[in-house]
Amino acid sequence: MNPINETHVSRPGLLVVDVAAADDATALAFQQLLGDRWATATAEHTTRDAGEPGVRLRCYLDLNQPVGSDALAGEVPQVSAEVQQ
C-alpha cells in the first residue's frame, strides 16, 4: 500500500484504516460496517500482494462526522484510547 498522506490524519478524529482479510467479501463487509457508523471514504475494490495471503484495502474515517442513527440523534460516539486484551 501507498504511504499514509499527512492530510489524512491532520486533526484528531481522522483515521486511516488498512484492512487485511481472507477474501473480498469479508474486507468489503468490514468497510461497510465502518461506513454505516462514520463518514468514510471507501475503497472500490481490494488489492492482492503477490506472495501474500488474502486481500487488502484502505479506507479513511472521520469520527467527527457520525452517520446513521448516531447522526440522527446528534450524538458523537465516544472513542477510547484504551487497549483491551
Please state, in angstroms and rounded to a whole number, the distance separating the CA atoms of residues 23 and 16.
20
pTM (2 decimals)? 0.68
Sorting pLDDT into bands at 50, 70 and 90, what band is 76? very low
pLDDT at residue 72 tops 80: no
**Residue ranges of domains in the chain:** 11-73
Phi and psi dihedrals of 72, rounded to 5? -65, -35
Question: For residue 70, what pLDDT is reported?
Answer: 53
Q: Which of 54, 65, 49, 53 is nearest to 15 (CA)?
A: 65
What is the per-residue pLDDT across 4-59, written as a single tens digit (0 to 9) for each? 777 667 789 899 999 999 999 999 999 999 999 988 888 888 999 899 999 999 99
